[in-house]
Amino acid sequence: MVPNITLNNGVEIPQLGFGTYLISPNDTVEAVTTALKTGYRHIDTAQMYGNEAEVGQAIAESGLSRAEVFITTKLNNGYHKRDDALYATDVSLQRLGVDQVDLYLIHWPLPMIGVDYVETWKAMIDVLNDGKARAIGVSNFLPKHLDRIIDATGVVPAANQVQSHPYSPNNVTRQADKKYGIATEAWAPIARGEILSDPTIVEIAKRIGRTPAQVVLRWHIQRGDIVIPKSIHPVRIAENFDIFDFNLSNADMNVISNLDTGVPADPNPDTFDYIPAN
């Protein structure tokens, strides 16, 4: 059974979610349907992914009640002005076919684009107060970005979704999250597959009778982070879910943590300024 993490506003989020980044709309309904049948109850999407409608369709057709599925989506980079953010929120709700999402995130801080992300965060607070999200947070925010929005508004994000995997665990940001009581969510948790052939991971997997992906995902879970692997392959979707009947030893946890290369995640959230076509 997937454990829940209680966010700083009391909302509970399943610690393991199903990510839909780079899953095409044509594949999304089938992939999310498979994930829900497997047992996932936390689905992560974003306006930028272009598959919110398909995520909503899969959830609506699953036979599960709305309360059984935790839905996260993210504000697209082209909608950081207050009125634009409020408009984009309503569009997301319409596409998803819901009145409220469980977690709504600013996708990137975008400090280079000329719109202050504090303004964007204030819009997110309006979304929360209007009842269109049960919790609000951020994605790819560095500690200094967190400091600014919290100092300006007094409202602490419930979650910060950042790139994190053993090669680049993003520990500085994780520590800032911890200081504020912000839950850390890990995207690209298996380093886009790169880490699955790492000799250390392969050795541990063979020794304990698990796959490399399960070992890495279990490492995330035992660190206390929320993790959102993604796949369109039913076997891998099931494999990624099957990580709650074993534990990594402290020694193995430390060995995996020592794979940190010291190279920061890419792209750099402080200079990233990509705005996709809306």
Query: Whole-angstrom Cα distance, residue 163 to residue 149?
Result: 20
| Fold of the domain spanning 4-190+225-243 | TIM Barrel (3.20.20)
Question: For 53-79, how does the pLDDT look when each residue is reduced to its tens digit (9 = 90+)?
Answer: 999 999 999 999 999 999 999 999 999
**What Å distances lie between residue 120 and 69, 198, 216, CA to CA?**
27, 40, 34
| Per-residue model confidence (pLDDT) at position 265 | 84
| Per-residue model confidence (pLDDT) at position 277 | 74
pTM attached to this predicted model: 0.98
Three-state DSSP class for residue 72:
strand
pLDDT at 19 over 90: yes
Question: For 134-180, how does the pLDDT look when each residue is reduced to its tens digit (9 = 90+)?
Answer: 999 999 999 999 999 999 999 999 999 999 999 999 999 999 999 99
Active-site residue numbers? Answer: 49
Query: Whole-angstrom Cα distance, residue 230 to residue 44?
Result: 9
Domain boundaries defined on the chain: 4-190+225-243
Percent residues over pLDDT 90 in the chain: 97
- Strand segments (E) across the chain: 4-6, 12-14, 18-19, 42-44, 70-75, 103-106, 136-139, 159-163, 183-187, 226-227
Give the pLDDT mean for 94-122: 98
Q: What does residue 198 show for φ and ψ, rounded to 5 degrees?
A: -60, 130
